[in-house]
Amino acid sequence: MLKILIAADSAFKRQAISGIISSYENFVVVNISRNGVEAMKMIEKYNPDILILDLPIIILEVLTGFKRLMKYSPTPTIFVLDEDLKLSKTIESRIRNIGFKEFDYVVKEKGIIIKEAYSKIENNLVLKVKNLSTLKTENIRKKKAVLNNEIKTQPREKKKKNEVNLSQAPIPISKLQTNAIVMGASVGGPKTLTSILKDIPQYFPSPIFVVQHMNHFFMRQFAVTLRNACVLNVKIPENGEEIIPGNIYLSPGEKHMEIIVKNDKPCIRTFEGEPVNYCRPSVDVLFFSAARVYKENVLGILLTGMGKDGVAGLDAIKSVGGKTIAESQETSVLYGMPKIAAETHAAESIVPNYEVKDWMIKFAKNLKNEGS
């Protein structure tokens, strides 16, 4: 069960958010606070897994106690923001200055009935709660990894069923039919991906692989939306299935997706491994595997989102001669992942999302008469 603490400055907000959270069987609301001071006391008392704050940022900024509290008891936090505040370019730095390190946010639409505004953010809010829920245990996993490292001195002949492999060692394959395109996105991804992929033309020669940070329920809904918008075949792949050129493959929710070689043919592997960069599915898992199999014949695209997932994988693609691009700040809903890719030069080109389809169409290529 995920322990969730809610803080909001009106009775209606508290009721709306707690109603959403309480309707999910794996969530439990440990308490509800009316302001930031009360919230700080409750964090120390209940040690929640997730904190949801629907409080004015300007009020939180004067509560210096949050910096001390988040230093010694860091709590993944979701902010519920008004639409006009979200548009501020400084909102992420303002939140970090308050003391929050691991956070995300949802945005309430203005100009509509308040009740409807909260109803519209439900799916996004629940998704972000689940995405942030792994952060609390990450340090524990790291400590276990250190302790287990001593017994991992001998190389294993077989990879464990759920082991995540971020190696850059190339995987031999005699010939590839096409090159490949891999895409990764988080916050704001569904809308951005739909706007890009709907314009990819029929008879597109290359397979397209997409990792979107999302659970299985919402991924199924997203797959339906994408199928209705695209002329290409969109599917959530089965573990072990052979890759067909011109298909769009969506990572299963809560499972990693990677490209492997089976019987000298590129195939897809899906599995429930440990989160990477706090994410499952992880963009890095897909990107590293694409670099190993397709080598220079891969285009990596990192879109809007929070954190750094996909940056190392993008750099791996670049290191084997593949092409890499990241979405520009101009069109990013949240300029986190693509920003780091730009700053570290993992992305060779920075482009607005409305130009991404042109890069994909130009890159897609049939390799039937070429070696891999």
Q: For the segment 7-50, what is each residue's pLDDT rounded down to a tens digit?
A: 999 888 998 998 899 888 788 888 999 998 888 888 878 888 99
The reply to whether 213 belongs to the active site is yes
Q: Which two tokens stand for residue 348?
A: 């060779």
pLDDT 10s digits, 50-68: 999 999 888 888 777 788 7
76 confidence band (pLDDT: 50, 70, 90): very high
Query: Phi and psi (nearest 5°) for 326?
Result: -130, 150
Active-site hit among 54, 104, 284, 309? 309
Q: 293 vs 258, 297, 351, CA distance in Å?
A: 10, 9, 26
The reply to whether 22 belongs to the active site is no
Q: 109 vs 7, 32, 65, 118, 120, CA distance in Å?
A: 19, 23, 30, 9, 8
Q: What is the mean pLDDT of the chain?
A: 86
How far apart are the C-alpha atoms of 109 and 121, rounded to whole Å?
9
Of residues 182, 131, 107, the one with CA closest to residue 333: 107
pLDDT value at position 94? 87
Residue 252, preceding bond cis, omega within 30 degrees? Answer: no
pLDDT value at position 36? 87
Strand 323-327 to strand 208-212: parallel, antiparallel, or no bridges (unpaired)?
Answer: unpaired
| Low-confidence winner among 68-82, 253-267, 335-349 (lowest mean pLDDT) | 68-82
Query: Phi and psi (nearest 5°) for 229?
Result: -95, -25
- The answer to whether residue 144 scores a pLDDT higher than 90 is no
| Low-confidence winner among 67-81, 147-161, 283-297 (lowest mean pLDDT) | 147-161
How far apart are the C-alpha atoms of 299 and 320, rounded to whole Å?
11
174 confidence band (pLDDT: 50, 70, 90): confident
Active-site hit among 33, 133, 186, 332? 186
158 confidence band (pLDDT: 50, 70, 90): very low
pLDDT 10s digits, 234-293: 999 999 999 999 999 999 988 999 999 999 999 999 999 888 988 899 999 999 999 999
The reply to whether 104 belongs to the active site is no
Which fold would CATH assign to domain 180-363? Rossmann fold (3.40.50)
Q: What are residue 32's DSSP bridge partners?
A: 6
Of residues 90, 101, 38, the one with CA closest to residue 65: 38
How far apart are the C-alpha atoms of 227 and 159, rounded to whole Å?
34
* Residue 255, amino acid: K
Q: Which two tokens stand for residue 355?
A: 């130009």
Active-site hit among 49, 54, 133, 213? 213
| Location of each CATH 3.40.50.180 domain in the chain | 180-363
- The answer to whether residue 162 scores a pLDDT higher than 90 is no
- The answer to whether residue 111 scores a pLDDT higher than 60 is yes
| Location of each CATH 3.40.50.2300 domain in the chain | 2-136
pLDDT value at position 311? 94
Which fold would CATH assign to domain 2-136? Rossmann fold (3.40.50)
